[in-house]
Structure 1
Amino acid sequence: MLTARAPAKINLSLHIVRRREDGYHDLESLVAFAGAGDLLSLEPGPDLTLETSGPTAAAAAIGGDNLVLRAARALRELVPDLTLGAFRLTKRLPVAAGIGGGSSDAAAALRLLAEANAMPAEDERLFAAARATGADVPVCLDPRARMMRGTGERLGPPLRLQPLAAVLVNPGIGLETRHVFGRMGLQPGQDHGMPAHPEVGDRPTGDHLFGLLRKSRNDMEDAASVLAPVISDVLAVLGAARGCRLTRMSGSGTTCFAIFDDCRAASRAARTVRRDHPGWWVKSTVLR
């Protein structure tokens, strides 16, 4: 039995540059990964199956729509003699929440299949299968902080990001990315017209890191907040927590995060939010 973690992907920034003529959106995003995540295991064998369990399993896609199976099938198209097997997914992350849970699951599946088939991590077929599965899957293949551009296929080198004590909060609802893009209303060929992403450097730390985060933004936050007004409530609650240095929505929502000076402050804030909002998913973690 092979196992792999599927960590939550957090968009520390998310700039929408333009909507292309083909309808897709170009972006610039500083991505980090959390200690929180799902767990995936694989028992190699001739057949491809998936069993799900865990607190958020009921909300996850089932059957052929699950990204774990889609990723495995995409890789099998490129590697016809691929050994497959029985996947078991323990689902802990909220679904349709802007933290790449399904994409990270799919990337973990590709890593496990590579291990089962003695494929090197740099095999281009893994990246091709990831790209065919979903826009966020390539960045999750090697879950380390980096810049992501284009539609998600242009990845910068891993960054030596300062570990960030954080609290993740999801109010218990999901949003489909396409609906948020639709609310933004960019037409094919239209630029967003906002300033470009600030330069990050290879080792963003301390005041430099927080300075560039404050100069950046999530361009999907306003549109998502119109579709799900509770996002504004989550941001307000996190922003009021003692020691909070930055709050922002991740991805297309609805999960928001707050960054603190240390893990003690983050844990204290998480306990308070969990007590006051028992219906919310709340996680104290470290982003790297």
Structure 2
Amino acid sequence: MTSQTTTAATSGTWKLGDSTVNRIGFGTMRLTQHGEAFAADAVPRDRDQAIDVLRRAVELGVNHIDTAAFYFSRLRSANELINRALAPYPDDLVITTKVGPGRDPSGRWLPHATPTQLRGQVEENLRQLGRDHLDVVNLRIVGADSIAERFGALAELREAGLIRHLGLSNVRPHHLAEAQTIAPVVCVQNMYGIGASREQQEFLHTCGEQHIAFVPFYSIAGTGRTAGAITDDSGEIHAIARAHGVSAAQIRLTWTLHQGSHVLAIPGTGDPGHLAQNVAAGLLRLSQDELTAIASLHHGAA
């Protein structure tokens, strides 16, 4: 498989709100520094290289970028890099951001935003990105409590024209049902990958039935989470990767795309070579036998 001529369009498309996006997108969480995301002692990534990677992603057909104002390191801000690299923005580019969490200038995590504070977070994303509206805003939460007040605050900003579409992140099925009584939800962004629990699988399928995009995070990193891709892939994953002449990370990424046409991938990297590999994964097709072998790796948690 040659990644040189492969573009994100080979992954297929999905209607995210009122925009059609290629299913292979780009996540910016790891763009600002080397090593584990959000680590205080991490080395900032070369700014020019980060900008080049963003521009190359768009050249390769990526038109869905995931970001957040709290994605920053000592010297780098993901939103500022996006602004510098891509403004004026292509007409078909969809930028999805998240609100809820916050960090102070030193990088220390703050309590999640109150409904009143959410407007300030939305305005900060607008300022950093240099836009007069945000394409998609995900409310990211922690816990199982009601989100009605917070999601309602974002719905008001949507009515005011500051936000076009709303989504949810790190949520459970009852959160989605609650949000839908307030405003339309176009995407759910949750942790998901090989080895996902039965509940995670069922939630992914529920979103598909409702024509809501499901956007996995840590689909490549797995248990590595913010530290990056794991290295303890099973023998089955490595065997399938060898058979296709690709990396285990590409198999993980391809597998998530096979979970439904509504699944959108947002792998992130600051490395041009890894970017090309991630985009090329959208061209890869797994056989039913390979999918069955990977399915056997699921925990099947009740």
Question: TM-score if structure 2 supplies the norm length?
Answer: 0.28
Bigger relative contact order (CA 8 A; separation at least 6): 1
> Which structure dedicates a bigger proportion of its chain to strand?
1
